[in-house]
C-alpha cells in the first residue's frame, strides 16, 4: 500500500498516510483501523462535536510514544475546516487567544484521525455562528475511582447521583471514560453560566460525599481518594474539557468512551476493556445512541 493516498471524503480532497502504522502495539491496531473506526462512527459522533471547540490528544508514534495536547489549529489546517478564535487563559505560549477547530463534517474527522488525534475532548458549551461562546448546555460529572476502587464502585456512585439529580428534576445519561472511570451527562437549557453550573455540581458532590463518606469524596486532594470515588464537579469550569462520547482512548488496547444503558450500570458487569471500537460500532448498530435514548 502506498505511504500516501489522495482521497475524497464527502466532496473534500485530503491526503491520508501511513495506514499500516501500528498505533496500539500490544493490540496491533493500526492507523488505518483508527481511520476506519472514526469514519464509521462519525454519524453518531458528529453531534457531540458540533459547535464545540476541540482539544485533541495526538499520538503520532502510537500510544507508547510521545503524545501531546493540541488546542490550536495546526499549520496546514485545510481552509474548509472551521476555526474560531477564543481566549485561553494560561496558554503555554502566553497567547491571549488561539484558533480552535470546530468539527462540523466527516472530512474533518478523517483529517484529524490521519493526524493521529486519537482522543477528542470538548467543553460543556458551544459557540454560536459568529464564534461567540454560549452558556453551557450540559452538566458533566466525572467519576474517578482511587485504587483499589474501580468501575464497579463508579457504577454504584452513578446510581446515587442519578437519584439525587432526579430529585431536582434532572435526567442524566451514563458513559464510560474509556479508561478507569465514567461520566454522567445532564442536558441543560443553556440559560445559566458556567460558574452557576459548576457551583451546583460541587454542592451535589459534597452532599453525596457527606452521605456516603466511605464511598465518595468531593475534594480534589489525592490523599483522600484511595478506595473511594472522586466526583469531579470541576469539569464544568468553562476552561475544562471532557472526553467526547465515542472518542477512542489511548491505552494498551483501543477502547472507547462508550454510552451505557442504565440497566448495564445496575448490572455492573461491563469493563472498559469490553468496549472496543468494533464492539461499540455493533452496539450503535443494534442499540442506537444510548445518550440520546437509544434501544
Give the 3-state secondary structure of residue 154: helix
Query: Is the pLDDT at 50 greater than 70, yes or no?
Result: yes
Tell me the per-residue pLDDT of 190-248, one tens digit each, with 9 for 90 and over: 999 999 999 999 999 999 999 999 999 999 888 888 999 999 999 999 999 999 999 99
Residue 220: predicted pLDDT:
84
Q: Is the pTM of this model over 0.85?
A: yes
Tell me the per-residue pLDDT of 73-93, one tens digit each, with 9 for 90 and over: 999 999 999 999 998 765 555
User: Cα–Cα distance between 128 and 134 in angstroms, integer?
Assistant: 7
For residues 55-59, give the mean pLDDT: 98
Tell me the per-residue pLDDT of 120-137, one tens digit each, with 9 for 90 and over: 999 999 999 999 999 999
For residues 40-54, give the mean pLDDT: 98
What residues have CB less than 8 Å from 216, skipping those under 6 apart?
157, 160, 205, 208, 209, 228, 229, 230, 231
What residues have CB less than 8 Å from 9, skipping those under 6 apart?
106, 107, 110
Residue 19: predicted pLDDT:
96
Amino acid at each position: 500500500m502506498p505511504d500516501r493516498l489522495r482521497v475524497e471524503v464527502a466532496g473534500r480532497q485530503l491526503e491520508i498516510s501511513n495506514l499500516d502504522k501500528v498505533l496500539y502495539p500490544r493490540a496491533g491496531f493500526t492507523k488505518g483501523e483508527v481511520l476506519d473506526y472514526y469514519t464509521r462512527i462519525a454519524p453518531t459522533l458528529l453531534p457531540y462535536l458540533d459547535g464545540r471547540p476541540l482539544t485533541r490528544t495526538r499520538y503520532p508514534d502510537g500510544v507508547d510514544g510521545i503524545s501531546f495536547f493540541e488546542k490550536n489549529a495546526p499549520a496546514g489546517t485545510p481552509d474548509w475546516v472551521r476555526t474560531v478564535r477564543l481566549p485561553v487563559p494560561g496558554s503555554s505560549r502566553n497567547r491571549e487567544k488561539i484558533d480552535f477547530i470546530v468539527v462540523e463534517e466527516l472530512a474533518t474527522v478523517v483529517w484529524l484521525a490521519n493526524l493521529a488525534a486519537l482522543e477528542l475532548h470538548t467543553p460543556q458549551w458551544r459557540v454560536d455562528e459568529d464564534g461567540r461562546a454560549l452558556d453551557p448546555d450540559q452538566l458533566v460529572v466525572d467519576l474517578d475511582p482511587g485504587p483499589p476502587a474501580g468501575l464497579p464502585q463508579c457504577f454504584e456512585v452513578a446510581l446515587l447521583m442519578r437519584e439525587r439529580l432526579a430529585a431536582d428534576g434532572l435526567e442524566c445519561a451514563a458513559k464510560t471514560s474509556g479508561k478507569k472511570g465514567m461520566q454522567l451527562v445532564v442536558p441543560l437549557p443553556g440559560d445559566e453560566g458556567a460558574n452557576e453550573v459548576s457551583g451546583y455540581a460541587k454542592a451535589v458532590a459534597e452532599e453525596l460525599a457527606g452521605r456516603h463518606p466511605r464511598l465518595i469524596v468531593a475534594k480534589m486532594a489525592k490523599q483522600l481518594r484511595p478506595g473511594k470515588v472522586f466526583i469531579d464537579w470541576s469539569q464544568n469550569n468553562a476552561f475544562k474539557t471532557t472526553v467526547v462520547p465515542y472518542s477512542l482512548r489511548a491505552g494498551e488496547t483501543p477502547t472507547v468512551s462508550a454510552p451505557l444503558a442504565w440497566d448495564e450500570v445496575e448490572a455492573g458487569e461491563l469493563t472498559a476493556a469490553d468496549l472496543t471500537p468494533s464492539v461499540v460500532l455493533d452496539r450503535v448498530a443494534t442499540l442506537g445512541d444510548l445518550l440520546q435514548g437509544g434501544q
